[in-house]
Structure 1
Amino acid sequence: MAFVGNGFDIQVANDYQMPIDTRYASFYYFLKLRSFDGKNLILQEMEKLQHQGRDNWSDIEGAIEELLRAEQVSAYDLRESLRNMQEQFSQFLELAVPSSLLTQLGLTSMNTKSAVSSLQEFLRDIDPEEYSSLEFPTRIDNFDVFNFLFVNFNYTSLLDDFVYLDQQQFDPLPRKTVDRNFTFKIDPGGAARDWGDIFSSYVTSEVVHPHGHQSIPRSLLFGVDTPENVRGNQDPALRLAKPFWAQNNIRYRHLFDDTELFIVFGCSLGKSDQWWWRHIAQALGSERTRADGKAKYTPELILYWFTGGDNTLGAEAVRDKFLEFADPSERDRLKQRIHVVLHGAGTARTWLNTSRTASFNP
């Protein structure tokens, strides 16, 4: 399971020199330029955050939760403010992510085989010390099926476009006599001094949008994580929770029981998405058995963290930040299951790397 946040969309906007990106601050200025309703409760909180220098989407969602907990405003009024902002956000996305950008990104992914290389060689990104403690490569064998499920927290189709296995870079039956369609490289960077070990296997991939999709404006979800104290099924506060509307427990909870490797990229690890982080943390500490009933494994996490600007955390601090969502008694034990990849604007990287693309004029 690969979780992808707004960091990916921002990366694409930067690599393609777009005049506007999908940062929270960009949306704020979009609203101000359009003279959006100054009485809107969410806009008022956004203005406070701007003065405080807090500029992540998780900050505004955290502010909504604080308003709710403090009972400063009603859940109904917050919902109305969010609903009124939803339409504006849809129009903002059309401006920030035009169809011409999607076309160019897709063409480049196709021509450079970026989607396939991301799936085949992402272990190249892990430095030798981290690689030596990673168990995932030791369990790989020929004929394995690599099923990549991308949980796209973004509302746009940029990630979907980039990782799509098109007809030019992927053939479901590329060989004459066997049905394998994928080769996985367990040590593409030579971290174990055993470069070139590849395994003949199969691949599938899928992208889901639990928080809605740009093409369906009314599906776009803003809100908080599930409130701690819910007063029955009709509690208005429950209607502000993203896991409630996305039906996380029904649609996604079971997937954590079958996942051997989690990857998190471009996420700020905000509390508004803690439903996901808690379930990853719970999975990391549990030994599982594969569907064949024989092979056993304990899930691991590869956590990408962008270093630049105010993001100066080291690998240990990033682990601690993630483990805030874990059971306190389990945190020390779970640290060994988390492998951090620190990367900046100039860092060589294989996973979801769009920097190899040519310049683009929208």
Structure 2
Amino acid sequence: MDVTFFIGNGFDIQSGLETKYSHFYHHLKDIALEDASLKENIIYKDIINTPDNAVKWSDFEMGLMELTHKCVSDEEIDNEWTAQNVSKAKEQIEKYLRSYLLMINSVDIKKELREMKGIFKDSFSNLLSSLPIARSEELYQILQMKDTFFNVNIIDFNYTTLFNNVYKTLEDTNFTPIFFRTTSSNRKVLLNKGSYIKIHGDLSKSINLGGSDESQLGPVMRKSEYNFYFIKSKLDHKIGDGNYYSSKNVINKSSLFCIFGMSLGESDKHLWEEIIQRMYKNENSALIIFQYEDDDQINIQPLQKETRSEEIKRDFLKYAPDIDIKSEDYLYLFNRIFIIYNSNLFNLYDLINLNEKNVVS
């Protein structure tokens, strides 16, 4: 049985890396004090005038897509909002993003590698025991497991390399057991490594920033030769990495999906649609969303927890627009989504913080 993890920026943030969009927003403001060309960048000028949008990367990406609606024909050379100019402006912003992330990506894992590996192994082992026992029983019944192992696939959305650097040090096969803690079984399942996909590229080559499909583009950019530069799957194809094709194949053979540290934004809706289609076709499949909430008391507030869980499920299932929310099909999907709040899985913060203190001293 295949289980696929979607690892987002929440992992980096949890580890103490300053990878929030707001961090980059303030970094750009500092750069612009010395770089006159950045001050004239039409995307930067829009960014700096909309500080309220400095929240999530998915919001920034959708902001880029919205800006393409301002595009005019390249023949209107006196208008700065040509498709070519917007594309060049995006390229300059990405150059600064890459240099910023290279600066903060230098985490030395060697000193604490043994402990980091232990945290990752414990995290995989405790994955399902994070669910309350009744929910774990439900998940076990949904999956109808017959295999004694999970084939683990990772789809890493981060440009940074921290998760991959630790994960690749784990043994290739049977790197840790995982337990179903249910009322009827305490079954042990071994984990094997499957695919590892850096779906948005990485800092050693190119980064892939943009939206999900052409419907999010403005009409001029949609017809422009530059439109591929704003659609992540198209850019991936142009670069030749094949990450989106590989991810689709992984999703279509998986039975359990785990989304960790992601905002589930519109800029990646194509992938969320792929998960929903797979779950719709395979009744023995399920999704676990690991959700961070500012209120750390949410796990002991049943009413708030249940209300919030239903809201998160509805937010995800909005990517299944053809299914009526009152239909049996909707309920069929809704009941196979599980929410885990404020999990401590894969949390390297203390080790990285300790490592940095040791370097300073």
The TM-score range, normalised by the shorter chain, is 0.7 to 0.9
Structure 2 counterpart of 1:277, from 272, 283, 287: 272
Counterpart of 2:31? Answer: 34
What are the within-5 Å matches in structure 2 for residues 160-171 of structure 1? Answer: 160-166=164-170, 170=171
Matched, 1:83 2:99: no
The 1:76–1:127 alpha-carbon spacing in structure 2 relative to 1, beyond 3 Å, is farther
What are the within-5 Å matches in structure 2 for residues 49-198 of structure 1? Answer: 49-50=50-51, 52=52, 54-71=54-71, 73-100=81-108, 102-104=109-111, 106-110=113-117, 113-135=118-140, 139-141=144-146, 144-166=148-170, 170=171, 172=173, 182-187=176-181, 192-193=182-183, 196-198=186-188
Counterpart of 1:239? Answer: 229
The AA in structure 2 aligned to 1:24 is Y
1:53 Cα deviation from its structure 2 partner: 5.3
1:28 Cα deviation from its structure 2 partner: 1.2
The SS at the match of 1:308 is: coil
TM-score (norm 1): 0.78
CA distance in 2, matches of 1:44, 1:251: 37
The AA in structure 2 aligned to 1:92 is Y
What are the within-5 Å matches in structure 2 for residues 202-351 of structure 1? Answer: 203-216=192-205, 219-228=206-215, 235-247=225-237, 250-287=245-282, 298-308=284-294, 314-329=308-323, 330-343=329-342, 349=344, 351=345
Query: Percent identity between the aligned chains?
Result: 20
CA distance in 1, matches of 2:82, 2:113: 44
Asked whether the 8 Å contact 2:127–2:178 carries over to 1, the reply is no
CA distance in 2, matches of 1:205, 1:63: 35
Asked whether the 8 Å contact 2:53–2:59 carries over to 1, the reply is no
Structure 1 counterpart of 2:12, from 5, 9, 19: 9
Describe the superposition over 1:273-318 as per-residue Cα deviations: whole angstroms up to 9, x where unpaired. Answer: 111111111111112xxxxxxxxx5321001110017999811111
The SS at the match of 1:204 is: strand
The AA in structure 1 aligned to 2:157 is F
Asked whether the 8 Å contact 1:104–1:360 carries over to 2, the reply is yes
Q: What is the total number of aligned residue pairs between the two structures?
A: 320
The AA in structure 1 aligned to 2:92 is N
The AA in structure 2 aligned to 1:221 is N
Asked whether the 8 Å contact 1:278–1:325 carries over to 2, the reply is yes
CA distance in 2, matches of 1:22, 1:339: 27
CA distance in 2, matches of 1:32, 1:44: 10
The SS at the match of 2:120 is: helix
The SS at the match of 1:186 is: strand
**Range 245-254 or range 33-42, more displaced:** 245-254
CA distance in 1, matches of 2:234, 2:172: 39
Describe the superposition over 1:73-116 as per-residue Cα deviations: whole angstroms up to 9, x where unpaired. Answer: 3332222111112221122112222242x445634313xx2222
CA distance in 2, matches of 1:211, 1:97: 16
CA distance in 2, matches of 1:202, 1:332: 31
CA distance in 2, matches of 1:273, 1:171: 29
Asked whether the 8 Å contact 1:262–1:300 carries over to 2, the reply is yes
Structure 2 gaps of 5+ residues are: 73-80, 238-242, 299-303, 324-328
Asked whether the 8 Å contact 1:225–1:272 carries over to 2, the reply is yes
TM-score (norm 2): 0.78
Describe the superposition over 1:15-64 as per-residue Cα deviations: whole angstroms up to 9, x where unpaired. Answer: xxx6xx011111111111122411222222322331x2541111111111
CA distance in 1, matches of 2:261, 2:123: 15
1:138 Cα deviation from its structure 2 partner: 5.5
CA distance in 2, matches of 1:241, 1:145: 36
Asked whether the 8 Å contact 2:291–2:341 carries over to 1, the reply is yes
Which structure features the higher share of helix residues?
2
CA distance in 1, matches of 2:94, 2:175: 42
The 1:74–1:156 alpha-carbon spacing in structure 2 relative to 1, beyond 3 Å, is same
Counterpart of 2:19? Answer: 22
The 1:104–1:285 alpha-carbon spacing in structure 2 relative to 1, beyond 3 Å, is farther
Structure 1 gaps of 5+ residues are: 173-179, 288-296
CA distance in 1, matches of 2:246, 2:5: 16
The SS at the match of 2:127 is: helix
CA distance in 2, matches of 1:307, 1:322: 16
The 1:55–1:133 alpha-carbon spacing in structure 2 relative to 1, beyond 3 Å, is same
Counterpart of 2:75? Answer: none
Structure 2 counterpart of 1:353, from 333, 347, 360: 347
1:156 Cα deviation from its structure 2 partner: 0.6
Q: CA RMSD in A?
A: 3.0
The AA in structure 1 aligned to 2:233 is P
Describe the superposition over 1:188-212 as per-residue Cα deviations: whole angstroms up to 9, x where unpaired. Answer: xxxx34574324x451144211111
**Range 270-279 or range 330-339, more displaced:** 330-339
